A and B are shown apart, each in its own frame.
Chain A
Amino acid sequence: MFAHLMDNLDLWRIGFANTLSLTVLSFVIGFIIAIPVGLARSRTGTWMSRITYGYVYIIRGTPLLVQIFLLYYGAGQFHKALSQLGLWWLFREAYYCGLFALILNTVAYQAEIVRGAVLAIPKSLEEAGASVSLSMLQIFRFIHLPIATARMLPALGNEFVLLLKASALVSVIAVTDVMGQARYLFSETLDLSVYYVAAINYLAIVLVAEAILRKLEARNIWLNPR
């Protein structure tokens, strides 16, 4: 097992870097997009809310595997049109296509998290902020943002782990992430242990991520006083 590992250290290194960058990039970009989407979702009754609801419903109702296939192979049929739009690079390169799919996917889930946090902030705190003469911007910055962030933290941590696991699916379009390298090495060596090495990679990332999350959550003692 370790002989394989040492022989292919570079492959594993690339795999690890790709898995980590896919997960972190899609998580961060997804979060930035999820903020307006989640805000739109929380304004019930508006057409923005209906459109974003439809988006969330479709993404959450289909397997990520199908979403990746649809983006990667489906886009191939529109090669010409996409080239003219200057977007072909996004769909031709498996890494970008996988990243794109992960972002589209996580936006739907993170938007629900944002929506939940927004709906959980009581309006009375806005009034309290106003009564001590804070401007709307200051109310957002000193009251809404910290409370919403603290409330979102556990769910966001969970979503990060889910996204990490989901990122393994990009190996089906031949991205060289941890899973992709494991599948490649297995096809070369037929040695099952490569999959256990992959498992250790994922487990390690999850354990580190959860340790960081606990550190961050410990800063919000106000959420669970007494």
Chain B
Amino acid sequence: MAHSDQKTPAKIIISISALNKWYGDLHVLRDIDLDVKKGERIVIAGPSGSGKSTLIRCINYLEKYQGGKIVVDGVELIDDRKIIENIRREVGMVFQSFNLFPHLTILENCTLGPIQGLDLPKEQAIEKAMHFLNKVNIPEQADKYPGQLSGGQQQRVAIARSLCMNPDVMLFDEPTSALDPEMVKEVLDIMVSLAKEGMTMLCVTHEMGFAKEVADRVIFMDEGQIMEQNNPVEFFTNPQHERTKEFLKQIFF
């Protein structure tokens, strides 16, 4: 059923152990242990303030942490500029508020990273950018500026921008929660097709339909801890933890 089951043994691409983080006195991540296999699709859910966004932001070191360790593709993430830049090259990130560069065209948004970060020749970077803009169905907007696009279009560009870096893993930080309802689907469709192609994905999202359709594993977080994790069928039909049941009740009324 799950993609990762087809190859044995699946390689572990992200390994998080005993991760702890504080904001001042606030303990936002408590002893997080998580292994992500190559090709695995994980959905992380939980109430706001549960630490789910913080967790995935730690993976490409947008957040510092005070305890534990993260290993990405065999390399331990430490506070070293070279290592951080290398890991960010392998890990793509899609933000809740798109964060496109407002002063660059859609095409330039997609080529800046490959040209400056990966030292790709300009023609190749453009070719690649157009390939991925095609994939997210907006090649015709390449010469516009982000401010001229709708939210859904901007988020699709943001996905293409990440894909241009040839990431091994994609992190999604609530990619649809800043969108108007009618635009959610166009972004989810792209994410589903990415998942079907075998991309390793960690998605923080409240879109439970998406979780049911593509996730190999659903993780429920609360108060900085992983409370429960399971395959989607079990997770939705047979939640173990009291908190999980409450959360699911709120989401599905």
A150 to B165 Cα, complex, angstroms:
28
**A-side binding surface: helix, strand, loop or mixed?**
helix
- B54 CB to closest chain A CB, in angstroms? 13
Does any Cβ of A come within 8 Å of B236's Cβ?
no
Does any Cβ of B come within 8 Å of A143's Cβ?
yes
From residue 107 to 153 of chain A, which have CB atoms closer than 8 A to chain B? 124-125, 127-136, 138, 142-143, 146-147, 150
- Given A128-B95, A131-B60, A131-B62 in contact, is the A147-B148 Cβ separation under 8 Å? no
The residue on B at minimum CB distance from A132 is B113
Q: Is B145 touching A128 in the complex (CB atoms < 8 A)?
A: no
- Given A150-B103, A222-B103 in contact, is the A131-B145 Cβ separation under 8 Å? no
Does any Cβ of A come within 8 Å of B156's Cβ?
no
- A118 CB to closest chain B CB, in angstroms? 15
B93: contacting residue among A131, A142, A225, CB under 8 A: A131
Chain B interface residue number, banded: 20 to 34
A142: contacting residue among B91, B100, B116, B162, CB under 8 A: B116
- B170 CB to closest chain A CB, in angstroms? 11
The residue on B at minimum CB distance from A141 is B116
Does any Cβ of A come within 8 Å of B10's Cβ?
no
Q: Which residues of B contact A147 (CB under 8 A)?
A: 101-103
- Given A130-B88, A133-B165, A138-B117 in contact, is the A226-B102 Cβ separation under 8 Å? no
Number of A-B contacts (CB under 8 A): 78
Interface size on A, residues (CB 8 A): 24
Q: Is A128 touching B101 in the complex (CB atoms < 8 A)?
A: yes
From residue 142 to 172 of chain B, which have CB atoms closer than 8 A to chain A? 144-148, 161-162, 164-165
Q: Is A134 touching B117 in the complex (CB atoms < 8 A)?
A: yes
Q: Which residues of A contact B146 (CB under 8 A)?
A: 222
Q: Which residues of B contact A150 (CB under 8 A)?
A: 103
A220 to B162 Cα, complex, angstroms:
25
Q: Is B101 touching A125 in the complex (CB atoms < 8 A)?
A: yes
- Given A132-B165, A133-B88, A135-B85 in contact, is the A127-B62 Cβ separation under 8 Å? yes
- Given A133-B88, A134-B112, A138-B116 in contact, is the A222-B102 Cβ separation under 8 Å? yes
A86 to B118 Cα, complex, angstroms:
52
A143: contacting residue among B60, B101, B144, B145, CB under 8 A: B101
Q: Is A225 touching B103 in the complex (CB atoms < 8 A)?
A: no
- B86 CB to closest chain A CB, in angstroms? 8
B117: contacting residue among A132, A223, A226, CB under 8 A: A132
Q: Which residues of B contact A124 (CB under 8 A)?
A: 95, 97, 99
A127: contacting residue among B95, B103, B112, B165, CB under 8 A: B95
Does any Cβ of B come within 8 Å of A1's Cβ?
no
The residue on B at minimum CB distance from A221 is B145
A223 to B145 Cα, complex, angstroms:
9
Q: Is A130 touching B60 in the complex (CB atoms < 8 A)?
A: yes
**Highest count of chain A CB atoms <10 Å: which of B60, B93, B113:** B113
Q: Which residues of A contact B85 (CB under 8 A)?
A: 133, 135
The residue on A at minimum CB distance from B171 is A131
Q: 1/0 per position for A211-222, CB-CB distance to B under 8 A?
A: 000000000111
Q: Which residues of A contact B161 (CB under 8 A)?
A: 132
Q: Which residues of B contact A127 (CB under 8 A)?
A: 62, 93, 95, 99
Residues of A within 8 A of B (CB): 124-125, 127-136, 138, 142-143, 146-147, 150, 220-223, 225-226
What are 5 residue pairs bridging A and B, where the CB atoms are less than 8 Å apart in the complex? A125-B101, A130-B60, A132-B113, A142-B101, A222-B147
Q: Which 7 A-B pairs have the closest CB atoms?
A: A132-B113, A133-B117, A225-B147, A128-B99, A131-B93, A222-B145, A225-B148
Residues of B within 8 A of A (CB): 60, 62, 81, 85, 88-89, 91-93, 95, 97, 99-104, 112-114, 116-118, 144-148, 161-162, 164-165
